[in-house]
Amino acid sequence: MIYFLCFILFSIGIYGVLVKRNIIKLIISTMILNYAVYILLVLMGFRWQGQAPVFAADQGIGFMVDPLPQSMVMVSMIVGLAVTALLVAVAMRLYQEFKTFDLKAIIKTKIKNKPETDDNA
């Protein structure tokens, strides 16, 4: 059941990326998309009543949780954070330039109607 919820979250993210035109909503959709995969990965490494993967005298290897998915999620979250920061930075520049968050309107009306011989100095 819980794996199915991850799938639903992933689908919501995909829906947002494909359908939404607002820049902020698009960024949030990509975050939902990424978090769905992170949660799935954490669930894969989960073990009921498991113990930390640290060797000790009273600890059997069979009860340890798998540490690899956890470290993978940590690294992926950092990468995801870097990408999100870049997305937000570009979104801010876009808003400064066009005073709107609607990506479709920016591309359809503002960029395509811009005169071709603009001075960009």
Partner 1 sequence: MIMLDIQQIIPLFILIPLLGVFLLALLARKKNFNADLILFIIVFGLLLLSGYLFTFKTKSLLYVYCLAGWQLPEAITFIVDGLAAFFLLSVYLITFCIMVYSLRYIDNWKGKWKFYALFLLLLTGANGVIISGDLFTLYLFMEVTAIASYALFVFSLEAKALAFGFKYMIKGVMASALIFLGIVVCYCFTSTLALADIANQLYLRQHIVSDPAMGCVVLFIQALFFLGLLLKSGIVPFNSWVSDINQAALAPGKAMLLAVIVPVLGIYPFLRIYFNIIGPNDQSLAIVRMFALAAMIGSMFWLYKTKSNNQGIAYHLINEFGLVILAMATNTPWAIFGGFLQLLNAQITAALVICNAGLIDYQAYPKQFSGQLKYSFKSRPIAFFNTIFSKLAFISFPPFLGFWSKLIIIVAVWKAGYQVSALGAFLCVCLAVILFIKQQRFLALNSRNRQPDLKLKKIKFSLAVSLSLMLGLCLGLNLLLAADYKEIFLKPAIETILSTTKYSKAVFKAENEK
Helix (H, G, I), strand (E, B) or coil at 57: coil
Residue 22 DSSP symbol? B
Q: Which of residues 76-115 bind partner 1 (CB under 8 A)?
A: 76, 79, 82-83, 86-87, 90-91, 93-94, 97-98, 103, 106-107, 110-111, 114
Residue 28 contacts partner 1 per CB under 8 A: no
d(CA 79, CA 85): 10
Q: What are the beta bridge partners of residue 59?
A: none
Binder of partner 1 out of 5, 24, 52, 68 (CB under 8 A):
68
Closest separation in Å from C-beta 1 to partner 1: 17
